[in-house]
Each structure stands twice: as structure tokens, then as C-alpha cells.
Structure 1
Amino acid sequence: MDKARLTLQELRKAVDLNGSLVSVHYACESFITAKDHPAGVACVAFHDLQTGETLAFSRSDAPPSKSTEEEKEIHVLERFYAELQAREGAHFLHWNMNRPEYGFTAIAARYEYLIGVTPPVSPPHQRVDVDGLLAASFGSAYAPHGRLESIARLNNMDMRSFRVGKDEADLFARSEWGTLSRSTASKAWIIANSLRMLVDGKIQTASSAGSVEFAGANMDAVTLVLAIGDRMRLVMRSMGVRPHGTPIEFKNEYDDQYLYRALLVQFFDDVRDEEYVPSYAGGNSRIDFLIPRFNIGIELKHTRDGLKDKDIGDQLVIDTARYSTHRSVNHLICLVFDYGGHLRNPRALEEDLRREVSTPEMAVTVKIYDR
């Protein structure tokens, strides 16, 4: 059993037993600005999954006796280490805080730079990088770039206080500690809830939209949608041989849709046909299928003579722009049936489209069935 599965089992047990799981995040000076010193720390936030409480320590809430920015920052760092000490034995959840320039090591370096001694507490022994755990579970492309923002949007989390990294660097330069503190607290909450949804099997990523219960087992919804497409060719062949009556032929997208829907409803209770999306470029369009429980939209395409790689690519780019306006779709799955071998480089087309058209608001998975 791999390390990620062992870690998930351990965390799932901790959640079931209401054990101590605490997420931590912090905001700091831009690495571009901090050329000759460890990046300055503006604020630190913790979210306790056990109690639902969020704590944030910022330069803005330092006592009046701390008059200089250095004194205010030292106050934040001291509270950070006091919190680590008070929660000894907890599982600490974080997002990429395992790098020398950002994370526990960087905070320790900043503490020693300001005070001249090593921190009073070592980094927690039980540390879990939630970003790394998601990547190990679903692949490195589990969410578009800016993965913390993407995972929050894919799962409809509250992002009213969230600020992206560049904006946080600008806030630091303007000493807007309160806004930074609220953004950091928001991110600590998102990290904790991402872990909770992951262990509960409800997390939505660019390759996962939650679990489907079927025949006493749980199956990932996106994996299932793709697997149904993978079996389509075998079902078509079986239906093309009919001892009594006329064999069924599959010649175009409408035939594909007819069969695909019949297979889809075996696993999903609510499958909606040809859902309208708002107009785009002067015309209306419809999603072939919508699975509202998982916020999945499904588009089927059937290649033919004269339809080249670029044509399919252009169509899917337009489809993505259309579907991104649909409130019930945050994961679009495009299934392209190319049994005639019309596409020249299907694997490259899949990867290019996934990378180029996925956004933090909507993940896009493209699967071409050509063999």
C-alpha cells in the first residue's frame, strides 16, 4: 500500500475518532522583495477541524506596547510557536509548507533572524501537505494552476476573503495586515475542509467529482463517466450483432448520445438531457448531459472525414467558454469518439486541451477514444 493511502487511512481514522487535526497557513513578504533576508511574516492562521474554530494572529492585533513593525512581527511569531506547543500531538495540515523558502523552516529562519536564537518549538512531527496528498491521490493535474484557489472554486467554498498570492504581496507592501489576516484565515479554513472532503470521498477535482454508490461499492464519478465511454465500443459491437431483427448501427453523435445515456443512468439517478446554457457569440447551445449532483457537464463528439485535430480543439474551446456560464457545471467532461482514426495525435490533443482550457472556475477533462 502506498504512502498516500496509508496517510489517508490514518487521517480518516483521526476524523472518525474526532482527533485533533489543525490546518495552518501564513502570509509573508514577496520573495522578490526579500532578497537578502528571510521573508517577513505578516500573519498566521489555524483552523481546528475538531472544534470548527479559526484563529488568526496578525501584526494588526499586536498590543500597543509593540510599536515597531519588527516588534509586531515577533509577537506574531511567538504566538505561532505557542500555538504549536499547545497543540502538540495534533495532525497539522498545510499547503506546500515543506519548502525551504516557504513553510516551517522559513518561519524558523525568520524567527532566528529577528531574535537571534532558535525557535522554542520544533516543527510538528505529524505534518500533512494537503496539496501533495491530493496530487498523490488524483495526479499532479488534479486542479488548474493556482491549485488552492482552484480546489476551493471546484467545491463551491466561501472565498469572499480569499486573495491570490500576487494580491497578498501587494497587501504586504501596503501594510494592510487586517485584509491579509482575513485571507490567511480563509485559506486555513479551505485547507482543513479540503482534507475533510477528501477523507469523506466528496472532494471535487479536475479528475474527481465525488463518489457514486453502486452495488455496495463507492466509485469516483469522473472515473466512472470516463469508464463508461471506454466500454462504448464493446457495447456497440455487441448491439451490431442481432440474430433476430435488424442490427443497431452507430453513425453519428446522436447515436452515441442515445447509447451513452442508457449506460449512464445505470449509475446516476439524475441525468438531464441537453441542458440549455446561456448564449455565446450570438447563438444558444446545449450541454449533452448534466449530472447536477456532481456538477458535471458531459459533451460527446463523433469524428468524421474532414474533422481534424484543430477543428475538434477549436470546438472544445468554444464549448468550454459556453459551459463556464452554467451555474451547475464546474467540471466539463468532453468525450470524443474517434474509432475511424481521423485525429492525427489524440494523446497530445487531450493534454493540450486539458491544460489550456481548464480554469479555476471549471475543470475540463478531455478523453479521446481511438482504439
Structure 2
Amino acid sequence: MGSEVARVKQRSASRKLVEDLYEESQRVYVVHYSCESFYENSTGGSTRVTSIAIRNLQSAQTKSWSIHKAAELQGCLGEINENFPALEKTMLEGYFDFLRQNSGCRFLHWNMRDENYGFFALEHRYRTLGGTPFELQDDRKVDLARILVSIYGRQYASHTSESGRKGRIFSIVELNKIADKDGLTGAQEAEAFEKGEYLKLHQSTLRKLDMFCNIFERMHAKNLKTSGSWLDVNGIHPVYILEQIKTHWITTLIVVSSGLIGAGVKYWDAIKAIFGGGPGAA
């Protein structure tokens, strides 16, 4: 029973968090990035980053950094692979400068939680390239994927979409008919990286930012469609109701007693009326 009570409380807290983020959306950014495949990395070292994008939740103004943009600025679009480390370092430097300048804001993300993929992974990668990353505090990071589970339950979306694409991102997007043109799956991103299609990876990163913002807005409006059951979506479970009755038995007793007393008074008035004992009787 305790787990159900905790879940309802966590759901309530997550709902409040969504409201807070919406209210201060001017100081909230959505962040996403693309990188080399974790599984195709033959060196065993940190995964190379190809693009990063950050979008303001209120204005939708977007700042991005990518390998191909860095290459264009340095005049080496035709020699990206030969200059990859230097271009990647330039790109990450721009990203960390942005974090430093906006350290008081909050950053909404999708599963950017560890050194495999996430803020820590970007920090480690920058260090390997000789940079000193700005370390964003954990209380500034908000995981959209975890909020979805908290509010709608673990069954909110399948791990494979109706069209057969892997990942809950595409499941929830397809369920809500959210535009996902240019959005790549993990396997497609790995293929694009191997082919050196860095522009395609950047376009996927930007599209996913748009998808995340759309999901968030529907969460706030409470019209996001999910695969969760009615109980999961509404956060009401019989076990929780029983627990509340046990915990607050005095309040429950007063409510029930009041109801019984009210019913008794009405019943007595009806009897008096039948047998002439009501108001106005001779």
C-alpha cells in the first residue's frame, strides 16, 4: 500500500513541477544532442559528439552547435573527418559557454542522465579534448522522460512505436500525431554517423527538440494521449483510497457519521408526516 501512496504523492509533485516549468518557461531550456553510437564505438573511449541544440521553452528561440557548422566557419567542410577533434572541441566550447551564461535556468532533457549519454558524458568528452567544462548543478536538470513515467505510469507508451520504430519517443509522438519529420531512431543516427551525414544528425537533433516541446505543452494542457490505463493516467487506485481511509480514520468517521445522521433525520421526518406527527398536524 505504501508504494501506491508514494506514487500518488510523486505524481502530484510531478504535476506541480510541470506547472512551475510552464510558469517560468522564459527561464527554461530544452536540450538534446546526437553522438556516435555507443555500440559501434570501436575505440572503447568516449563517444564523439556531432551536434547539440538548446531551445527556449517560451520563445522557441534555438541555439545550436554542430560539426558541420564548425567546419563551415573554419573553411574545412570537405575535410571534416580529418579535423574532427578540433571541430568537436569548438562545438563543445560553445555549448559549455552557453550553460555557464545561463546557469540559473533549468534544462529540460530526455534521459541525459549518465556518463554513457547525458550532461556527464558531454563533460567527460570535453575533458578528453583538453577543455574544462562548466558543470551544471543537478537541480537545474529536469528529465522529461521520468516526468512522463511519474504522471502517466510505466505503461504510458510502448518501447516500439506502431510503425515499428524503437523508443518511447516515437511511440508517444505517433500516438499524438506530432510531426517527426527528420527525427532519427538510434539505429538511423548510428548509420548517419558512419556515413558522415552530419547535417542529417543535426536536423534530427533539432526535430527532437520540437517533439519534446510539443509533448511538454500537451502534458501541461492535460490532453496528451498515452497508452496507460485510466487508473495510471488519473493516479487513483483502490489501494490508495483504502490507505487514505486507514490513515485518516477520524475524518472518515466524521464524514460517514454525518451522512448517517442526515439520513436518519430525513427518515424520521418522513415517518412523522405519514402518521400525522409532522408540522401542521391537528
How does the TM-score come out when normalised to structure 1?
0.53
Residue 87 of structure 1 aligns with which residue?
102
Identity over the aligned pairs, expressed in percent?
A: 28
Match of 1:130 among 132, 144, 148: 144
Gaps of at least 5 residues in structure 2 are: 1-7, 160-166, 235-282
Higher helix share: 2
Whole-angstrom distance in 1 between the partners of 2:153 and 2:108: 19
The count of corresponding residues between Structure 1 and Structure 2 is 214
Report how far residue 220 of structure 1 moved: 8.9
Contact map agreement 1:91 1:127 (CA 8 A) in 2 = yes
Secondary structure at the aligned position of 1:143 is classed as coil
Preserved contact between residue 42 and residue 177 of structure 1 (Cα < 8 Å): yes
Tell me the CA shift for residue 123 of structure 1.
4.7
CA distance in 1, matches of 2:115, 2:127: 14
Report the aligned-residue RMSD.
Answer: 2.5
Report the Cα distance in structure 1 between the residues aligned to 2:75 and 2:187, rounded to whole angstroms.
31
1:93 and 1:127 in contact (8 A); partners too: yes
Aligned 1:151-230 pairs, distance under 5 A: 151-207=172-228
For 2:186 and 2:137, how far apart are their aligned partners in 1? 24
Q: CA 1:119/1:65 → structure 2, altered by over 3 Å: closer, same or farther?
A: farther
More relative contact order, 1 or 2 (CA 8 Å, 6+ apart): 2
Aligned partners of 2:151 and 2:233 also within 8 Å: no
Matches of 2:46 and 2:192 in 1, distance apart? 18
Match of 1:5 in 2: 12
- In proportion to residue count, which structure has more strand? 1
Q: Residue 20 and residue 220 in structure 1: after superposition, are their counterparts in 2 closer, same or farther (change >3 A)?
A: farther
Q: Which amino acid aligns with 2:74?
A: P
**Which residue in 1 is equivalent to 2:115?**
100
Q: What's the CA shift for 1:17?
A: 4.6
Residue 123 and residue 41 in structure 1: after superposition, are their counterparts in 2 closer, same or farther (change >3 A)?
farther
> Does 2:44 correspond to 1:36?
yes
Residue in structure 2 matched with residue 278 of structure 1 by the alignment: none
The 2-side partners of 1:45 and 1:22 are apart by 10
Offset at residue 3 of structure 1 (A): 3.7
Write the distance in 1 (CA, Å) between the matches of 2:233 and 2:110.
25
Please say if 1:15 is aligned against 2:26. no
The separation in 1 between residues aligned to 2:64 and 2:201, in whole angstroms, is: 10
SS of the aligned residue for 1:193 comes to helix
Q: Larger C-alpha radius of gyration, 1 or 2?
A: 2
> Aligned partners of 2:40, 2:179: CA distance in 1, in Å?
30
Q: Give the 5 Å matches for 1:1-371.
A: 2-34=9-41, 35-62=43-70, 63-64=73-74, 68-115=83-130, 117-123=131-137, 125-145=139-159, 146-207=167-228
Deviation of 1:147 (Å): 0.5
**Partner deviation per Cα, 1:278-321 (whole Å, 9 max, x = no partner):** xxxxxxxxxxxxxxxxxxxxxxxxxxxxxxxxxxxxxxxxxxxx
In structure 2, C-alpha distance between the alignment counterparts of 1:17 and 1:113, rounded to whole Å? 35
Structure 2 counterpart of 1:280: none
Q: Secondary structure at the match of 1:24?
A: strand
Q: Which runs of 4+ in 1 moved over 6 A?
A: 219-223
What is the CA-CA distance between 1:170 and the residue it aligns to? Answer: 0.8
